[in-house]
Amino acid sequence: MILSPMAMATSAIKTNNQSWYSIKAKANDTAEISIYDEIGGWGVSAQQFSKDFKALGNNLKQINLHIHSPGGDVFDGIAIYNLLKNHPANKTVTIDGLAASMASVIAMAGNEVIMPENAMMMIHKPWGIQGGDAEDMRKYADLLDKVEDTLIPAYAAKTGKSAEELAEMLAAETWLNGKECVEHGFADKLAEPVKAMAQLQSKRLGDYTNMPKAIKDMLMKPQGNAATTTPAPQATAELTATPQAAAPQVVTVDNTAQVKAEMEKRNSAIKAVFAQFGDKHNDLLVECLSDLSVTSEMAKDKLLAKLGANTTPSVPAANVYADNGNLVGDSVKQALLARAGLDTDKANIAANVYTAMSLRELARASLTDRGVSVMGQNVMGMVGMAFTHSTSDFGQILIDVAHKSLIKGWETANENYDQFTSRGILTDFRPAKRVGLGEFGYLPTVGEGEEYTYGTIGDEGAQVALATYGQMFSITRQAIINDDMHLLTTIPSKMGQAARATIAKLVFSLLTGNATAQDGKKLFDASHKNSLTSAALDVANIDKAIQMMNGFVNVRGEPLSIEPEFMLVPTALHTRAKQVLGSASVEGADINSGIINPIRDIVPTIKSPRLQIADPKSWYLINKQAIEVSYLDGVESPYIEQQQGFNIDGVTTKVRIDAGVNVIDYRGIVKVTNA
């Protein structure tokens, strides 16, 4: 297994008639997958595998994976392993010939791994090539160690071996046949020996120093009667299931001419990118030609990046257009973020040719600098085209900037409910149950040979649910023409603040509105014994409130040991609370009397203007677990979305947040009202 810089340099170029990788859907919700190739590079990439794998749908119940691979890129392999491992379907992996290096990691994703007796698996330490100074080498060595630490758990989960034992096997470049794999836990079941296996053309095989001669002969030499074509992977797969069948016919295919032609085509394409600049950028040209992983498109991006500081966003006089990737979009976005005060990197701002442009000019640049002519268009039409043309991402850029303003407003909103509430996650809008502050109590004794009993929590579960809150606003063509940044900054920021204020209102309404608790009664119902009236804010009454919370018991009469974590007060009582809780001695006592304040700094205080408006005389002792603020999928900030089906007048934007606020347990809240 190697790191990405070496993947493409050591890969072979495949001819069009070679079928080394396939994913097919079969009957009965079954998928057949064959990996007869290198992992990553020009072989089986994680990107392509993910695309093909997801195309099979979500109803798969059985995955049959056939592997015959020398390994390859670590990160592509890890991605493929995770895709398979995390899929709920049953996975049967058959190693038809060789599962070496990263291919062996992928095999560990199987619920069942089947190997012919003469098939082989190889595991070893990750390796790669690094240039640079001593510090670069040390960093690369550290990276290799970290990569190894990510691979060992995959082997450990399958085999049950310790990390130390596996590390020794990796260091030794360990080769195992089918029987040995079963003995060590890498495979689950043996199959009949294969008589021949498909030839592998990978240069990577020459890097393995401990490869057994038997497997080397089967992989790298013709077997049986040589034919004129390379067998498809399916032939070997069928041979594994029916060993009595005739051996597949294989020969060595010389790809030298193909490789040479492909390289000449690549080099010509790269030279064409630099042709119009003469020899001005020969140093970059040589760099691109020398790095075999660089394509003509990548060379074009490198050249444009080098030219970027010295170019303007106007179209050349000769109207020559070269695709510049997303340089325009990224630069336009950075310029807008700077104007909005959301990007303060002065160096980037100074180097960005779009920084001083108005919104109208940025809309034009989003078209013209991508080769789209706006000749004949009036201002309204040009701006409308910037929103709708397939080449322009102007509308999305505006939304991205507005979203950052939205999040800034959310984060800077002066609301403090998250200090004294817990956070929950819900995956949908169906009501869910939460267990209150009760506990099991004690574990019963289990005698020798006796069965364990099931424990239950007698407390009634609190119901929690989500709701959606949101509003829309529009970024119109008129606003762009008028250069109105207000719609990208102030309005989204205010809506972010409004989203946070919405959650705060829901939280405080539970307290001031005497919400319904988990038992169906009001939060501060007299039967709950969690409220005091006509009680001044002093040491004695704070102590009573603490004792009230400490006195709650479960259904078995055992103490719950609930402790207050915060004192929540209206602004009118904040100074008084700080004084009572922060004083070294009690009120009225002589400073030298030696009487200490028993509740000094027992809980921190939180003040709230919302309490001041709703009820300036009441204060609360709160355990953080008593109130939960739940978010859909754990996303604790508002979304911003484009509405589908816009006309060319602008972008309509929807701001929403999916959240729920619920009382989990009344015993975690004590309300005290001053006389």
| Catalytic residue set | 101, 124
Residue 621 β-bridge partners? 567, 670
What secondary structure, in 3-state letters, does 26-59 show? ECCCEEEEEECCCECCCCECHHHHHHHHHHCCCC
- Report whether 666 contacts 518 (CB < 8 A): yes
566: Cβ–Cβ under 8 A, 6 or more apart, which residues?
Answer: 419, 420, 603, 604, 605, 606, 621, 622, 624
For helices 74-85 and 46-55, angle between their N-to-C axes, nearest 10 degrees: 20
- The per-residue b/e assignment along 343-369, b for 16 or more CB within 10 angstroms, e otherwise, is beeeeebeebbbeebebbebbbbbbbb
Q: How far is CA 221 from the centre of its chain?
A: 45
CA atoms within 13 A on the CB side of 194: 30
Residue tagged 């589908």 (tokens):
644
| CA dihedral over 506, 507, 509, 510, signed as positive or negative | positive
Exposure of 599 by Cβ count < 10 A (0-12 exposed, 13-18 middle, 19+ buried)?
middle
* Residues 91, 96: Cα–Cα separation, whole Å: 15
DSSP type of residue 634: T
Collapsed DSSP state (helix, strand, coil) of residue 398:
helix
* Residues 66, 79: Cα–Cα separation, whole Å: 17
- Report whether 671 contacts 531 (CB < 8 A): yes
The CA-based dihedral angle spanning residues 90, 96, 97, 103, taken in that order and rounded to the nearest 10 degrees: -30
- Report whether 35 contacts 52 (CB < 8 A): no
**Cα–Cα nearest to 444, from 432, 453, 457:** 453
